[in-house]
Every structure is written in C-alpha cells, then in structure tokens.
Amino acid sequence: MPPYLDDNIESTLQFFRQEYVQSIRTDFHPDIVSAEIDLLISGNYPAKAALNIALWSLYLEIHKLEKLSSNIISSTPHSYTIGICNKAEMKQKLDEALGYGFSFFKLKLDGINDLQMIENYSALQGSPFAVDVNQGWDNINTAIEITKLLKQRGCVLIEQPFDKADRINTSLLKKQSSIPIIADEACQTLNDLYTLSDAFDGINIKLQKCGGLSAASKMIVLARSMNLKILIGCMSESSIGCNAAETLAPLSDWADLDGPWLIDNDPDMRSLFPI
C-alpha cells in the first residue's frame, strides 16, 4: 500500500464487501463504474485501482478487444530503481538490472548520501539517469548546486525534491533548473493537477494513487493539456499492476514500472512487457 495513504488490508477488504461493489454485473463500462464508485466511496484508491484493472481486463475479454497484455512494445524509456547503497552494492544492482534488460536507471537520493550516489553511478555506469529525492531536500541553495551537478552527469528528471507541500522552494528550483521537476507525493489524483503547474514540469501517475486506469487516463489527458510531462510509475507491486500500467506507457515520457523486479513474491514476473 502507498505508505502516505490511510489504506490497509482491512480497509481494502471492506471496500470489496460494500453493496455497490458486490452488485457489479457484466453489463458495465469500467469508466462509468469508477465514476459512480468515486461518488459513493471516498478514498480507497489502491482498492479502486485493483477493481478498475480487473474490470478493464474483463471488459476487454467480454467485448473481444485487445487484452491488457504483456506484449505491448513501447519506446518509452523504462527505469530500474537503485536505492541508497554503497558502490559495491550499486554495482551488484546495476549488473542485475542490465541482465534483466534495463539500460535506464533511477537513483534514490535522500539529502545525505546524494553526492556519493551520483559519483558512484557516474563511475559505474555513466548513462543518462533519473533521480527520486522522495522529499529529501530542505535547502534551496544546496538543491540548486546538486541540480547543476546532476545536469553535468546526464540526469533527465528530478522527482519530488522537496516536501509535497513546499511549493515555494520547488518553484524556485524549477526556475533555476533545466531538468524537469516531477511531482510524486504532491500529485495523487486528478484534482491535484490544478495546483502544481507553477512548481512542477510533470507528474508521476501511479494506479494505486489515483484509483486505476480510468483515472490515470483522465490525468494524462489533463496533464498534456497543461503541457506537463508524464511519468507512469508504480508502488512496490507485482506484474499484475505494472502490466496494467504499461498500457499507458506509450502515452508517457518515461515509465518506472520495475516493482516486480524489486519484490520477492511476484506471481508471474517473466510474463512482463519487453523493456
């Protein structure tokens, strides 16, 4: 579950016990069901995402349309996440990811080990990369200096540099940086888009954050109308969720759908989309 939402296993199970959810029959359209559920039930976005993905799979099967499959080939760059680690651990993770077929990487930064992470990556790999700060920066001057270094080393996006509510420093960084600044925790649902264009250049859309494919598709349309870039991402989740999100990768600038490679209990990792 997304750690910054109030959902847990019991609240998710309770969602599926609700009368409206139990009453869904085969004469449905996933967009309409999702819209009605949003009116009846607040929150519960991971559960809504699970239901919406399942309904789309069933809907496509019923109507003999192309299924949500692992056979979609997208030219969108797909990243593999490298968490905070030392140089030896980074080399091991990079070697594993290269073996899986990844060639684009996202480095986790935390405001403490940033320089070491950047230097180690530059020494070991050196190809263009992304960074995810996870709200870890709190000083605009330091952020500007690190951003200059990131530009020199080939960074292509900076995800959520400051606290999700800190639009002042984020706006200042956006004005100083030629690297796109992407909102993650600061952008969860469609309504959040209206408040962030002054501070961010793009958004990270995750099905568990917004409630599924129907909601994510609407977010993409609105974001494009606002000239925002799109990163389609994931939580720590399986190939079930990531394969569904992959259908939106051709509409996105980047994809970060590496969840199945970063967990030990994926049900069918080998059926994933080609990278």
**Confidence at residue 1, expressed as pLDDT on a 0 to 100 scale:** 78
What is d(CA 142, CA 232) in angstroms, rounded to the nearest whole number? 28
What residue type is 11 in one-letter code?
A: S
pTM of the model: 0.88
| pLDDT at residue number 270 | 47
The ranges assigned to domains in the chain are 9-62, 79-271
Classify the phi-psi angles of 120: left when phi > 0, otherwise alpha if psi is within -120 to 50, otherwise beta: alpha
What's the mean pLDDT in 10-23? 92
Length of the chain equals 275
What's the pLDDT tens digit per position in 203-236?
999 999 999 999 999 999 999 999 999 999 999 8
pLDDT tens per residue, range 38-85: 999 999 999 999 999 999 988 888 877 655 544 445 689 999 999 999
How many angstroms from the chain centroid is the CA of residue 140?
25
Pick the CATH number of 79-271 from 3.50.50.60, 3.40.50.300, 3.20.20.120, 3.40.50.150: 3.20.20.120
115-173 confidence digits (pLDDT tens): 999 999 999 998 999 999 999 999 999 999 999 999 999 999 999 999 999 999 999 99
Work out the widest C-alpha separation in the chain, in whole angstroms: 57
